[in-house]
Amino acid sequence: MARHHFNLHLVSDATGETLIAASRAVSAQYQGICSLEHVYPMVRSVAQLDKAIAEIEAAPGMVLFTLVDPQHAQRLTEACTRIGAPCLSVLAPIMTLFESYIGPAVKPRPGAQHMLNADYFRRIDALNFTMMHDDGQQSESYEAADVVLMGVSRTSKTPTSIYLANRGVKTANLPFVPNTPLPKSIEKLRNPLVVGLLASPERIVQIRANRLLSLHADPESPYVDRRLVAEEVAQSRKLFEEHGWPTIDVTRRSIEETAAAIIDLHKLHKLKFISAA
C-alpha cells in the first residue's frame, strides 16, 4: 500500500523557519504525499532536546535539525540511530563548505540569523511603511517608497507588498480603477520603482468570484463581468505602457516568484538612479 503521509521532525535551536522552508521545498516535489510536521523550536538545553527525542521515539519518522551546539547535535544523532529514525543536519554541509573556505566560526551562536541588527530593524521599518501605504493610502508620501505596485483589483498587490516588506523593501500599492485619475504625486515620483501587475481576465474573474462568495455578495456583480474585467486589464496595461513602467504577469506566478522578479527590477532601477545622479 502506498504511503500518503509521514512524520517529519524538525529540531532547531532557533525559530525553525530554515528547516520548515527547506523541508517544504523538498516535500512539494512529492505529489500525493504530505509530511506531518513536528516542530521543536528554541531547543537549547539537554532537557528540551530530550523532550524532542521522546516525541520522535513516540512517532518515528525523518528528522532534520539545525543545532549549532556540537554536543546537542551528537546527542540527537545518537538517539536517532538508536530509534532507527534517519536524521540530517541541514546546516552541516553548508558549515563544512564555509569552514573550508574562510575557516571555522569563532563560537557557535544559536539563532544568530535572528539577532536584532540593522537588517532586522530595516525589515521592521519596511513592514510599517508598507502597512501604512496599502491600497492607495498616504499616496502623498510615495516618494519614500522603494517600490510602488499598481494593478486592478485581485492582482495580489497587498500580499506581494507584505512579502517584499519582509525582505526589507518599502512597498506601497495603488489599485487601478478605470476612469479614476491617479494621485498627482505618482506623476512626479523619482526614487521608487513603479511596477504594473497584470493577470488574465479569466484568472481575475475566478479570484473575484471566490471573494464575493466568501462575503456572501451578489455573484452577478459587474465586479466579475468577464467583458468589464477585460477592459480594466486593457486600460491598466495601456497606462503602464504610456508611463514606461515595467509590468509583471502574475497569472501563473506565486507571490514569491513575483517578489523575486520585482527585487531584480529594483536592483536595476537603483543602478540607473545612481548613474543618473
Q: What is the dihedral of CA 121, 122, 125, 130, to 10 degrees?
A: -140
Scan for cell 509521514, then name that residue: 6
Is 153 known as a binding-site position?
yes
Is 152 known as a binding-site position?
yes
Please count the CA atoms within 13 angstroms of the CA of 16 that sit on its side-chain side: 17
Is 184 known as a binding-site position?
no
Cβ–Cβ < 8 Å for 77, 87: yes
CB-based burial label for 244 (10 Å; 0-12, 13-18, 19+): exposed
Is 156 known as a binding-site position?
yes
Contacts of 173 (CB under 8 A, 6+ apart): 133, 134, 135, 136, 148, 149, 150, 151, 157, 158, 160, 161
3-class secondary structure, 272: helix
Name the grid cell of 35.
509530511
Is 96 known as a binding-site position?
no
Render 79-114 in DSSP notation, one character per residue: HHHHHT--EEESSHHHHHHHHHHH---SS--TTGGG
Our measurement of the distance from residue 143's CA atom to the centroid of its chain's CA atoms, rounded to an integer in Å, reads 24
Cβ–Cβ < 8 Å for 2, 14: no
Cβ–Cβ < 8 Å for 150, 197: yes
Scan for cell 452577478, then name that residue: 220
Is 157 known as a binding-site position?
yes
Q: Which residues are annotated as a binding site?
A: 151-158
Q: Which residues are annotated as a binding site for ADP?
A: 151-158
